[in-house]
Amino acid sequence: MRKWLLGIASLLVIAAILFFVLAPGMVEKSMNKVQPVALRITPRALALQKTLDVADMHADSLLWKRDLLARSDRGQVDLPRLQAGHYALQVFSSVTKTPKHQNYDANSGDTDNVTTLVMADLQPIRTWRSLLQRSLYHAEKLKRFADRSDGQLRLITTSADLQKLIADRADPRKWATQPHSIATMVPTPPVGAMLSIEGLQDLEGKIDNLDTLYAAGFRMAGLAHFFDNDIAGSMHGVKKGGLTPLGRAVVARMEKLGMVVDVAHSSHQTVAEVIAMARRPIVSSHGGVQATCKVNRNLTDDEIRGIAKTGGVIGIGYWDAAICSNKPEDAAKAIAYVRDLVGIDHVGLGSDFDGAVTTGFDASQVAAVTQALFDRGFSDEDIRKVMGGNVIRVLMTGMVPGQ
């Protein structure tokens, strides 16, 4: 009997070890997929891509148990792939809670998928029950990646940081003698990394926690994610209301601190109320537009005009619910629509890479979007704005503390 019990115990230990080692990667591989589409990238597009400072406003890579300094066979973003895509800046979002049976129509906040993932990843116990601690852990995680990157991945927390990054990327003397690209062993410009939040449920109802998150390095925040919270209504929530009194105070405090307000996933009422009270540029970090893909999470023409009126920018994604396909040509179609409606200065990239989406390409192949913009007749200068210039301009402005 004793041997039998010891055998059972040994099997359970082995099963547990295999679960904690293998399960997180298997879960991610099933959720962050690249289903390749035909990509045509001409020498002209590649030549321009090598001169770009690509900037993307949204990736959920910190949610997963993966070394972002190593090229992976799963997901859509890591440092080598950012380097291959000629990225200057990737905004990394902190996802702290998602509802079970998540959908675009209506979700309550009564359940949570992320808790299981947190436990399976063996994250610190403080993160098992606290959404605030989950975000703080994501900040620590990104800092550890930056510290291990030999200067190839730089944390961006101020306008001066971003300005220096762009200047250094333009001057090979600042990086050509530094440690080489992890992917190719060729000298490669540094890539910036900025922290954002997907849904301010991680404030846990306390506005003082916004200052805690700011101190940890967060410089952008979406007000709601897939469910209504005590800050704002979600486009995918049950009531889909507007800003709460706490939410209005949070938006004002964000503007004062120098945190960019993100209305992606927010209900139409929330978007309208934020536009009405905004004193600084706001963004919709990732998504699409209803004119080219009629999905409820995408922006109406009035919302596009309102965001542009604040001086902000709309980030266009590459997955089906954003552009009704996973083809770069349809991303370019949405980008062209925003340009034609409000001008070239108000549209950029918001991939939602590693956000449980299926795309036709990963970060290393983002030149496919450049090609699609060429094919639509965009000039080199306008492509430069779309692929990064507009986002960098708005973030540089938004990180300056207000009055």
Q: Which residues of the chain have pLDDT under 70?
A: 1-26, 177-186, 403
Q: What is the pLDDT of residue 187?
A: 76
Per-residue pLDDT at 22:
53
What pLDDT was estimated at residue 367?
A: 98
* Domain 32-398, CATH class in plain words: alpha beta
Instruction: Enter the DSSP assignment of 113.
Output: S
For residue 389, the 8-state DSSP code is I
- Give pLDDT, residue 342: 98
Residue-wise pLDDT for 210-260, tens only, equals: 999 999 999 999 999 999 999 999 999 999 999 999 999 999 999 999 999
The pLDDT score that the predictor gives to residue 18 is 45
Cα–Cα distance for residue pair 387/385, rounded to 1 Å: 6
Question: What's the pLDDT at 181?
Answer: 53
Instruction: Return all residues near 172 (Cβ < 8 A) that are at least 6 apart.
Output: 187
Return the sign of the alpha-carbon dihedral for residues 47, 50, 55, 58: positive
Each domain of the chain, given as residue ranges in start order, spans 32-398
How many whole angstroms separate alpha carbon 271 and alpha carbon 284?
9
Q: What is the dihedral of CA 349, 297, 256, 229, to 10 degrees?
A: -140
Q: What is the pLDDT of residue 15?
A: 46
Please give the Cα distance from 328 to 319 (Å, whole number). 10
Kindly report the pTM of this predicted structure: 0.92
Q: How many C-beta atoms surround the C-beta of residue 277 within 10 A?
A: 14
* Strand ranges, E, within 18-168: 33-34, 54-59, 87-95, 153-155
Residues 193 and 286: their CA atoms lie apart, in Å, by: 17
Per cent of the chain over pLDDT 70 is 91
